[in-house]
Chain A
Amino acid sequence: MIQLNTIHESPVTRRKLVIIGNGMAGARMAEDILAADPNHDFDIVMFGDEPYGNYNRILLSHVLNGSQEPQEIFLNPLAWYEENQITLHAGKRVTKIDRENKIVYADDVAEEYDVLIFATGSRPFVPPIQGTTLHGVFVFRTIDDCRNIAEYAKDCKSAIVIGGGLLGLEAAKGLMTHNVSVTVVEMGPWLMAVQLDEAGGKVLQQTIEKLGITALTSASTKELLGHTTVTGVKFADGREVAADMVVISAGIRPNKELAAEHGIVCDRAILVDDQLRTSDTSIYGVGECVQHRGMVYGLVAPIWEQTKALAQLLTGKNPQARYVGSKLATKLKVMGVELASMGRISDVKPTDEVVTFAEPGRQVYWKAIVRDGKVSACCMLGDLEPADQLVDYFMNDTPAPSRRLELFFGSGTKAQGADFSLADMPDDKQICDCNGVSKKTICDAIRAGKCTVPAVGKATRAGTGCGSCKTLVKGLIEAVNGEVKAEPSESWYVTAVPMDKPTLVAEVKIRELKSVSAVLRELGTADDEKSKNGLASMLKSIWGTEYIDERDARYINDRVHANIQKDGTFSVIPRIYGGITSADDLIKIGQVAKKYDVRMVKFTGGQRIDLLGIKKDDLPKVWADLGMPSGYAYTKALRTVKTCVGTEFCRYGTNDSTALGIALEKKFQGFEFPAKVKLGVSGCPRNCSESTVKDIGIVASDGGDWDILVGGAAGASVRKTDLLCRVKTQEEAIRVVGRFMIYYRDNAKWIERTYDFVPRIGIEKIRDIIVNNSLGIVEDLDREVEKTIAAYVDPWLERNNPVYAGQFEDVKTVPLPMVTV
């Protein structure tokens, strides 16, 4: 039965405003009404097809590339709607409108309206070709799309993105972070045809190809190949390219159907006038679903102008408010490439003057079109130094300088020239283009005490879009407040305890907090699993053997000393010191593998052997049969010491790398850190054990000394190590390594690997402390090394005495009682 929702307690004079669509435009509409008149007389009701509160769609690319969590991009949580007395029907799609009686219907809900606003946005355009419904074919528009793409990409090696526009490139970049090789396919002759001309498109192509993305232009897709799952695409010219997944980003189509079906006049989108009114005077439209003076926009900036004008009108604050169209000037960052675009660059008349500047070496390309002495369009790529100045010329129709080159190379005559300062910027100057935030709004927030970039972002939204204005925001904070405060939570060791590491360590010591639950009880403000893990690691290094080891503060891998696999079984990697094993050990490993029916026996990237697919119940037995210590492949601890054959066999070796590798691994095994630590030892500068991309690498120099290198990695981040020092002997090498390890252990943030830690502290400072003993702590560090060694117990010995009930038990079976029928 359909339930009619009318708000009875409201006085008769109240009007009911219904908004269809809870996207960027819909939510902003509601906000703008609240802002225009806090005492407005509307009962606001919103329908959103997506089952959430409102999120920032332009940040989806960040979610896809993993730099932001889905939770982080939500703008208005459900509580916001409640607080502002807005009824939100989330997950409800409006399917019917009764214009005569002014009622909208969605599923089982019906709402009457006095004023109705369409904010239905648009949807991805899927070309009418074969295969678009195959498994592994995606579009990129919603948070669910992001999640599905990311999830599917895990099992993929290659992906094709159809469409080389802004969104297609964002999708491609996102996919790169999931380690798939990406090909972007563009039907037109160059990339980003809307924003760039041919030369610019070519520059962009070179830039992204350098990043490892293949771009195919003038390639028209004819068919997606595959039976149930997509396997590739076929082009009109007959070429086929294989791929494990396809993302279609071939443009958008306004969601106008609902309006059209109910007799509202539409063209390419829902037609609205300067008052944003449709052909029905009670019905309005904002956002990507509308067409205004012939324009359908695909960016957020015009939306902010539309909702603002409409809010003024509807609340009666300014009955003269009109929306007269937007001039689009956007600064974007596509795959790390800076890009600015104003007006329509493809629109060149014979009488226009075209001013270009190109610097191919740096992939810089600037082009401006001057029409009737004014800048009518512009695109800039690679370096946006003069972009603000051009935006100004473009937006304000300022006459272009007669020496046209001054467009790009300002003569200092304009405010934005050489001595341009933030203070001179007019108050209404838009700083954040993504969210339409002016300088004044930001400065007001700063004066109200928001003195960090994230705090300003939270209060005004500035900087929470593409992020390109964050430096300006920071500059404004400096200008208004004198200094930028650091965001406190950024310095916290874990999120559940609002303290940086040194404060936390001090508190823990003073209060003698020896267990995770004690710390959370006394100092915590929340309880989450990541914080528990982090605290456990820290407390263990502070208290050593006195640490009260609560197993519920550990992740499953650290509870059963093995890595959980996707089917609930585990993997077992025994320690193989320095990557050197023996025939007997290999036989033993082979026998164990056979006895327990190990599904896969694999050489790892860390020079040892992984037995995969072991049941939890079998773990203790496998360890006992192997009789080898744990390789700690699961926890934040010393992982492997990779070695090369060195002097023992290699004709180039100058130093005994295997001996040093084994000695290091034996000494430091079981050391736990804020993040994993991997070592490599190479017997000569040829560096066959890849020591220059390890957390700690040791490389024999030509003269036979050892170079101690730190802060390298070659996983999700690749960083070459920094040279800490050069030592003469193996003993010295071990000592320096130990000192560095403890210093890192005690000063790094949770999950901060050395590749972030070393640059954060600075190699000079670390060298001063570890090598030159500038703080006088090296003896303490040495003592700490010995203390940690003394506290080491092979965790696999828990096989004999499980420390908690069911530690190594898969399932307990409880039979149902027999029932007589």
Chain B
Amino acid sequence: MQTSTQTRLALCQIDDLPVGLGRSFEVGETPIAVFRTRAGKVFATDAFCPHKGGPLADGMLAGDQVVCPYHAFRFDSQTGECDQANVCAIATYPIDVAADGGVFITV
């Protein structure tokens, strides 16, 4: 049987994340896209779009949704759900920002 442990890792400083945009990370072997909205929310999702592998960190934000740069499918920042039928949701990862601006992700 396999057990999985969750690890909280220091990712970067908040200033490493451009306002209103995303940035892609490789945490261990997991590709993750991290976004910082204009309203100040930070969230993390899978790095690639389940449709045709679009790099989501290169996408744009529309409110609380990530818009894939390839064919403009949209994914909810909270649930990872896609606005298109029959496209599976993307994973989202818990992320928190410490008082000193350190950004931590739990994988």
Q: Which of A357-399 contact B (CB under 8 A)?
A: none
Are B26 and A527 within 8 A (Cβ)? no
Q: Which of B3-25 contact A (CB under 8 A)?
A: 5, 7, 9-12, 15-21, 23-25
Are A814 and B26 within 8 A (Cβ)? yes
Q: Of A555, A559, A805, A817, which is in contact with the most chain B CB atoms at under 10 Å from its CB?
A: A805
Are B60 and A555 within 8 A (Cβ)? yes
From A52, A517, A528, A566, B62 is in contact (CB under 8 Å) with: A528
The distance from the CB of B66 to the nearest CB of chain A, in whole angstroms, is 10
Are B25 and A813 within 8 A (Cβ)? yes
Are A816 and B7 within 8 A (Cβ)? yes
Indicate the size class of the contact surface on chain A. Answer: 35 or more
Are A811 and B26 within 8 A (Cβ)? yes
Q: Of B5, B16, B59, B85, which is in contact with the most chain A CB atoms at under 10 Å from its CB?
A: B85
Chain B: interface residue total (CB-CB under 8 A): 40
Q: Does B101 have its Cβ within 8 Å of any Cβ on chain A?
A: no
Q: Which of B45-73 contact A (CB under 8 A)?
A: 47, 52-55, 58-63, 67, 69-70, 72
- Chain A interface secondary structure, helix, strand, loop or mixed? loop
Are A805 and B67 within 8 A (Cβ)? no
What's the Cα separation between A143 and B58 when bound, in Å? 28
Are A805 and B9 within 8 A (Cβ)? no
Are A552 and B21 within 8 A (Cβ)? yes
Q: Does B91 have its Cβ within 8 Å of any Cβ on chain A?
A: no
What's the Cα separation between A143 and B86 when bound, in Å? 11
Q: Report A116-140 CB contacts with B as 1/0, cut-off 8 Å.
A: 0000000000000000000000000
Are A815 and B28 within 8 A (Cβ)? yes
Q: Of A52, A143, A528, A529, which is in contact with the most chain B CB atoms at under 10 Å from its CB?
A: A529
Are A804 and B21 within 8 A (Cβ)? yes
From B19, B20, B25, A811 is in contact (CB under 8 Å) with: B25
The chain A residue with its CB closest to the CB of B61 is A552
From A144, A550, A556, B69 is in contact (CB under 8 Å) with: A556
What's the Cα separation between A52 and B54 when bound, in Å? 24
Are B11 and A805 within 8 A (Cβ)? no
The distance from the CB of B49 to the nearest CB of chain A, in whole angstroms, is 11
Are A816 and B58 within 8 A (Cβ)? no
Q: Which of A33-70 contact B (CB under 8 A)?
A: 51-52, 70
The distance from the CB of B75 to the nearest CB of chain A, in whole angstroms, is 13
Q: Does A426 have its Cβ within 8 Å of any Cβ on chain B?
A: no
Are A143 and B85 also in contact (CB < 8 A) when A529-B60, A551-B18, A552-B61 are?
yes
Contacting residues, chain A, for B27 (C-beta < 8 A)? 814, 816
Are A804 and B52 within 8 A (Cβ)? no
Are A814 and B24 within 8 A (Cβ)? no
Q: Does A77 have its Cβ within 8 Å of any Cβ on chain B?
A: no
Are A805 and B26 within 8 A (Cβ)? no
Q: Does A770 have its Cβ within 8 Å of any Cβ on chain B?
A: no
Contacting residues, chain A, for B24 (C-beta < 8 A)? 810-812
What's the Cα separation between A812 and B16 when bound, in Å? 10
Are B38 and A552 within 8 A (Cβ)? yes
The distance from the CB of B82 to the nearest CB of chain A, in whole angstroms, is 12
Q: Does A564 have its Cβ within 8 Å of any Cβ on chain B?
A: yes
Additional A-B contacts beyond A552-B20, A559-B21 (17; CB < 8 A): A144-B85, A526-B63, A528-B62, A555-B69, A556-B58, A564-B58, A568-B58, A805-B15, A806-B23, A809-B23, A812-B12, A812-B16, A812-B23, A813-B25, A816-B27, A817-B7, A819-B5
A-B contact pairs, 17 of them (CB 8 A): A517-B20, A528-B63, A528-B67, A529-B61, A551-B18, A566-B70, A568-B54, A804-B18, A804-B19, A805-B15, A809-B23, A812-B26, A814-B12, A814-B25, A815-B28, A816-B27, A819-B5
A residues in contact (CB < 8 Å) with B = 51-52, 70, 143-144, 517, 526-529, 532, 550-556, 559, 564, 566, 568, 804-807, 809-817, 819
Q: Please provide the 7 A-B residue pairs with the shortest distance between their CB atoms, ordered closest to farther.
A: A552-B20, A816-B28, A804-B18, A529-B60, A556-B58, A527-B63, A528-B62
